[in-house]
Structure 1
Amino acid sequence: MSPITALTYVLPHRLVSSIARRLAYSTRPAIKQWLIDTVTRKFNVNLAEAAQPDPTAYPTFNAFFTRALKPGARVADADPRSVLMPADGRISECGHIGRSREGVLHEEAGHIFQAKGHGFTTAQLLADDAAARAFDGGVYATVYLSPRDYHRVHMPWSGTLRETVHVPGRLFSVGTDAVGSVSALFARNERLVCHFDCDFGPMAVVMVGALLVSGVETVWGGVEIPPYGGPIVVKDYRGQGIALERFAEMARFNYGSTAIVLLPAGVADLVPELRAQAPVQLGQALARLN
């Protein structure tokens, strides 16, 4: 574990993230432009593909961070059976729920591999045992969005929103060192679980917060996180007809973090080229329906 990751155990996560949020929404030119220029330079952000390529045109750092892309900058995989990658980034991990990388059945039901021997269960991630059982034997993919990436999350498949669950938690970093060091990190961090009903059955997309992540917004509900902490908040959307098409925008992070897609058993197979640490782009194939 690096000294920086060790430090995150004692940092007041919510205080640090609240301060970061205030800075991200500051309209003071000196603050917002310094942040934009620093991130652009340090992470080699490609503004040429942004709908607004002028870094001085953004009113706040958050507006820059959640920037839209030019039309056609990302396209959906041509195969209509492809379940799509929900975001730009890299694969943190992927595989079969309840099995090891080698395909061996895990002793813990619903186990999802994190990194370096660490893992968690779907029940822990979703904070719901019954919802977790729907994904037993299914597949998952965990996508890490770095500060340089496009920070909007899109639908892997067409679906109707059934429920969201805001699960309170910590705000550990989700960088490589932390993922390899902090046990059950994604099931411990603050997160928004989005449940959809699709033509093949249930699909879950989990938006995991992290240190300095100042919020998660959805296209149907606006700002979902903050507030930080508090009790688990469940919102029932059944009967409201909130249907989103495959590849449509569903949410955005106000700073880099992680999105996890869960699909039920027997529905789809992950594409063969998908592997841990592979760079990925929104719209490419994540899995193909059987």
Structure 2
Amino acid sequence: MSLVTTLTHVLPHRTLSSLARRLAYSQNPRTRRWLIDTVVRRFGVDLSEAANPDPASYASFNAFFTRALRDGARMPDPDPDALLMPADGHISQCGPVDDGRIFQAKGQSFTTAELLGGEEDAAPFRHGSFATVYLSPRDYHRVHMPWTGTLRETVHVPGRLFSVGTDAVARVPRLFARNERLVCHFDTDFGPMVQVMVGALLVSGVETVWSGEEIPAYGRRITRKDYRGRGIVLARFAEMARFNYGSTVITLLPPDVAVLDPSLHAEQPVRLGQRLATRLRSPASP
């Protein structure tokens, strides 16, 4: 087990994240420049893909970190039956949900009920499929829609803020079901779809396009927001939310609606807009 993973069991997660947040939002020129230059150099950030490629022009590190891409830097798979990868990053794991359990890593799994915050929310996905995408500090940190959906509800589930790096995923039991997260429920033309924005150590901020900042504030109890009847419809490939530091998004699909792309495997680098799955259409489907 790495030193970082060991320390995250005992460190004050939220205190560290609050301190890191102050640095990330600081507009002090020296602080801002040092943070941006360090991340660009250490992680090899490709600024040619950014809508604004000048690192010195960002007002804060967070503004740089959540930067937009230039037009055409990512394109959706042209097949209209393709569900899309929601983010840049690496596949942590993907595959079938096994009787309500999601595979995390060798010897590790967690339940959909734990992840989503309740048995009723988890029921439609008991035998469905999932994809877990890890976003590293070098990646584009906005999350987009795999398929067109109408927002039904969000569930803010409180928890810890473990690192979501490879070592932590392999070592920390039920990690994604323990970290603070925002569960976003959508209704689609094939049924329910869920996007789970999982927080992580340091900053752990989540913003949505419909409500702005959701995390922090960090929660002490499960909080639900009902959006039914509000008409919030997000198109396939549209931006949905963003992370204010590296983390993980988990997509859940119900059974018998789509087949995950067979080429996907753990640790594979992926890009926003590539094929995540292929929609299964019955003869009566549009």
For Structure 1 versus Structure 2, the TM-score category normalised by the shorter chain is: over 0.9
Aligned to 2:148: 158
Equivalence map 1:153-232=2 (5 Å): 153-232=143-222
- The AA in structure 2 aligned to 1:93 is Q
Q: Which of these residues, 241, 248, 252, is aligned with residue 242 of structure 2?
A: 252
Do residues 28 (structure 1) and 28 (structure 2) align? yes
CA distance in 2, matches of 1:198, 1:245: 10
Aligned to 1:89: 89
Do residues 4 (structure 1) and 11 (structure 2) align? no
CA distance in 2, matches of 1:16, 1:241: 38
Q: Secondary structure at the match of 1:134?
A: helix
What's the CA shift for 1:229?
2.9
Q: Secondary structure at the match of 2:102?
A: strand
* Contact 2:161–2:204, Cα closer than 8 Å, also in 1: no
Aligned to 2:105: 115
CA distance in 2, matches of 1:230, 1:242: 27
Aligned to 1:59: 59
Number of residues of Structure 1 aligned to a counterpart in Structure 2:
280
What's the CA shift for 1:231?
1.2
What's the CA shift for 1:284?
0.2
- The AA in structure 2 aligned to 1:143 is V
More displaced stretch, 86-95 vs 222-231: 222-231
Q: Which of these residues, 218, 233, 251, is aligned with residue 223 of structure 2?
A: 233
CA distance in 2, matches of 1:163, 1:129: 15
What's the CA shift for 1:37?
0.1
CA distance in 2, matches of 1:285, 1:60: 33
- The AA in structure 1 aligned to 2:50 is A
Q: Secondary structure at the match of 1:251?
A: strand
Point out 4+ residue stretches in structure 1 off by more than 4 angstroms.
Answer: none
Q: Which runs of 5+ in 1 are unaligned?
A: 99-108
What's the CA shift for 1:214?
3.6
What's the CA shift for 1:273?
0.4
Cα deviation digits, residues 17-40 of structure 1 (max 9, x gap) = 000000000000000110000000
Q: Secondary structure at the match of 1:259?
A: strand
Q: Secondary structure at the match of 1:34?
A: helix
Q: Compute the TM-score of the two structures, normalised by the length of structure 1.
A: 0.96
CA distance in 2, matches of 1:14, 1:244: 31
CA distance in 2, matches of 1:143, 1:233: 24
Q: Secondary structure at the match of 2:240?
A: strand
Do residues 242 (structure 1) and 232 (structure 2) align? yes
Cα deviation digits, residues 162-201 of structure 1 (max 9, x gap) = 0000000000000000000000000000000000000000
Q: Secondary structure at the match of 2:104?
A: strand
Aligned to 1:124: 114
* Contact 1:204–1:261, Cα closer than 8 Å, also in 2: yes
Q: Secondary structure at the match of 1:10?
A: coil
What's the CA shift for 1:3?
2.1
Aligned to 2:283: none
CA distance in 2, matches of 1:213, 1:285: 30
CA distance in 1, matches of 2:247, 2:96: 22
* Contact 2:156–2:219, Cα closer than 8 Å, also in 1: no
CA distance in 2, matches of 1:90, 1:213: 21
Cα deviation digits, residues 107-157 of structure 1 (max 9, x gap) = xx3010001210101000001101101012111000000000000000000
- The AA in structure 2 aligned to 1:50 is A
Percent identity at matched positions?
Answer: 70
Aligned to 2:284: none
- The AA in structure 1 aligned to 2:184 is C
More displaced stretch, 88-97 vs 229-238: 229-238
When the two chains are superposed, the root-mean-square deviation of aligned CA atoms in Å is 0.6
Cα deviation digits, residues 74-132 of structure 1 (max 9, x gap) = 0000110001000000000000001xxxxxxxxxx301000121010100000110110
What's the CA shift for 1:233?
0.7
Cα deviation digits, residues 228-269 of structure 1 (max 9, x gap) = 131111000000000000000000000010000000000000
